């Protein structure tokens, strides 16, 4: 069969945003490869999950429905996915680069001895020629991701092992319904055949879940601060500007590491991906990992003392100067121009 497979994260009967994005990507890969799109949802109370999943163009949905399977724990989900992959032999398997997918993915890949690439920013089908082994491969999954601190972009392939596994962060792929009336097949797995009692040795005793307080993904304007902001005090100016413009503050990894900003505001490959109408990059040099999270912004302003900062190359407006000087002026002149 060798289909494309997506592991869907579910909680409280709802399929995660990232999984919907991956189903969309999975559908387009399946179209290109001329194969089916399959998905698996593992959790509890999954009666309505089909309605949420099939419209993305899913041909076969496998469900494992058991109170013990939610919330997620590693071992039972691994057992189910490994056995299901052994049975269905997918050529490609996609998971969210979340605390679930990045826990489950490596475990599954190790059990199946299949290659896994974390945090891909792009997935493309292409061929490959291994000149040494004199072998030609067709229709491999190019798993593309920044590496080495964002200084290079690597294209990774898994020529011989299946499935070709990749994780992708939320927001990287776009979600799109294929057909609200799409008809797929629902396969309810007999959970007892897939898990054993030993899979439940790790017990969750307490959970405090909170919806992320900041919503930088949905903000029309995002002010991104980098290491070049220079201090916590100056960084606080960005919040003022965000408030005035009705936006949110984001940060590069360096600014988060410096302690100027919460981790949940980190933008980039290892943070969130944003596509605002306006992105104001303040003191951000523009490593590729950061750019991966913001380069699709409609308009980009870069404020940087370094006229050759790499981010300037993708900016629409480049202001060469100090953040502490420019940001207060932006606040002042915005107010003047909207009176």
102 is a site residue for another protein (CB under 8 A): yes
Which 296-335 positions form the footprint of another protein (CB under 8 A)? 298-299, 301-302, 310, 312-322, 325-326, 329-330, 333-334
Q: Applying CB under 8 A, which part among 28-36, 73-81, 173-181, 187-195 lies near another protein?
A: 73-81
* 294 vs 158: CA distance, rounded Å: 28
- Read off the tokens for 326: 């420019």
Which 275-294 positions form the footprint of another protein (CB under 8 A)? 277-278, 286-288
Which 232-261 positions form the footprint of another protein (CB under 8 A)? 245-246, 253-254, 257
78, with CB counted inside 10 A (0-12, 13-18, 19+), is buried
Q: How far is the CB of 179 from another protein (least distance, A)?
A: 31
Who's near 302: CB < 8 A, 6+ residues apart? 281, 284, 286, 309, 311, 312, 315, 317, 318, 319
Q: How far is the CB of 79 from another protein (least distance, A)?
A: 11
Nearer to another protein (CB atom), residue 59 or residue 91? 91
Which 80-99 positions form the footprint of another protein (CB under 8 A)? 98-99
Q: How far is the CB of 184 from another protein (least distance, A)?
A: 29
From the CB of residue 77, how many other CB atoms can be counted at a distance below 10 Å?
26
Number of residues written out for the chain? 339
Which 171-230 positions form the footprint of another protein (CB under 8 A)? 201-212, 220-221
Nearer to another protein (CB atom), residue 45 or residue 220? 220
Which 108-167 positions form the footprint of another protein (CB under 8 A)? 109-111, 113-119, 128, 142-143, 146-161
Site string for another protein, 18-57 (x = CB under 8 A): ----------------------------------------
Do residues 167 and 95 make contact, with C-beta atoms less than 8 angstroms apart?
yes
Nearer to another protein (CB atom), residue 39 or residue 116? 116
86, with CB counted inside 10 A (0-12, 13-18, 19+), is exposed
Q: How far is the CB of 19 from another protein (least distance, A)?
A: 14
Nearer to another protein (CB atom), residue 62 or residue 290? 290
Nearer to another protein (CB atom), residue 139 or residue 322? 322
The helix (H) or strand (E) run that includes residue 290 is: helix 288-291
Among 71, 89, 174, 231, binds another protein (CB under 8 A): 71
Nearer to another protein (CB atom), residue 55 or residue 293? 293
Nearer to another protein (CB atom), residue 17 or residue 236? 17
From the CB of residue 321, how many other CB atoms can be counted at a distance below 10 Å?
13
Q: How far is the CB of 224 from another protein (least distance, A)?
A: 15
Evaluated on CA atoms 298, 302, 308, 310, the torsion sign reads negative
Q: At what angle do helices 101-112 and 74-88 cross, to 10 degrees?
A: 50
Strands 122-130 and 37-43: unpaired
Locate the DSSP E strands across 265-321. Answer: 278-282, 299-304, 317-320
- Read off the tokens for 90: 């997918």
Nearer to another protein (CB atom), residue 34 or residue 336? 336
Q: At what angle do helices 232-245 and 323-338 cross, to 10 degrees?
A: 20
């Amino acid at each position: 069969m060798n289909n494309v497979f997506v592991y869907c994260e579910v909680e409280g009967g709802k399929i995660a945003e990232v999984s919907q994005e991956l189903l969309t990507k999975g559908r387009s890969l399946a179209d290109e490869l001329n194969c089916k799109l399959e998905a698996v949802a593992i959790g509890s109370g999954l009666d309505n999950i089909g309605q949420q999943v099939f419209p993305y163009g899913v041909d076969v949905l496998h469900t494992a429905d058991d109170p013990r399977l939610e919330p997620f724990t590693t071992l039972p989900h691994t057992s189910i996915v490994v056995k299901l992959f052994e049975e269905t032999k997918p050529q490609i398997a996609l998971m969210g680069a979340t605390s679930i997918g990045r826990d489950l993915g490596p475990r599954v890949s190790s059990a199946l001895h299949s290659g896994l690439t974390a945090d891909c920013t792009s997935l493309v089908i292409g061929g490959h020629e291994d000149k040494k082994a004199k072998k030609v491969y067709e229709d491999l999954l190019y798993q593309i991701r920044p590496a080495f601190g964002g200084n290079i972009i690597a294209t990774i392939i898994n020529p011989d092992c299946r499935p070709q596994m990749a994780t992708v962060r939320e927001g990287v792929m776009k979600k799109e319904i294929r057909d609200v009336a799409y008809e797929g097949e629902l396969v309810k797995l007999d959970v007892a055949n897939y898990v054993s009692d030993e899979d439940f040795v790790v017990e969750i005793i307490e959970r405090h879940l909170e919806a992320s307080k900041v919503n930088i993904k949905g903000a029309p304007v995002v002010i991104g601060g980098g290491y070049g902001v220079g201090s916590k005090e100056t960084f606080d100016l960005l919040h003022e500007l965000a408030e005035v413009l009705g936006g949110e503050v984001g940060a590069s990894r360096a600014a988060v590491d410096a302690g100027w900003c919460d981790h949940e505001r980190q933008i980039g490959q290892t943070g969130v991906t944003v596509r605002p109408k306006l992105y104001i990059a303040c003191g951000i040099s523009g490593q590729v990992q950061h750019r991966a999270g913001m380069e699709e912004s409609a308009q980009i302003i870069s404020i940087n003392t370094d006229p050759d900062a790499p981010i300037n190359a993708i900016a629409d407006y480049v202001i060469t100067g100090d953040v502490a000087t420019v940001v207060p002026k932006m606040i002042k002149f915005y107010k003047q121009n909207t009176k």
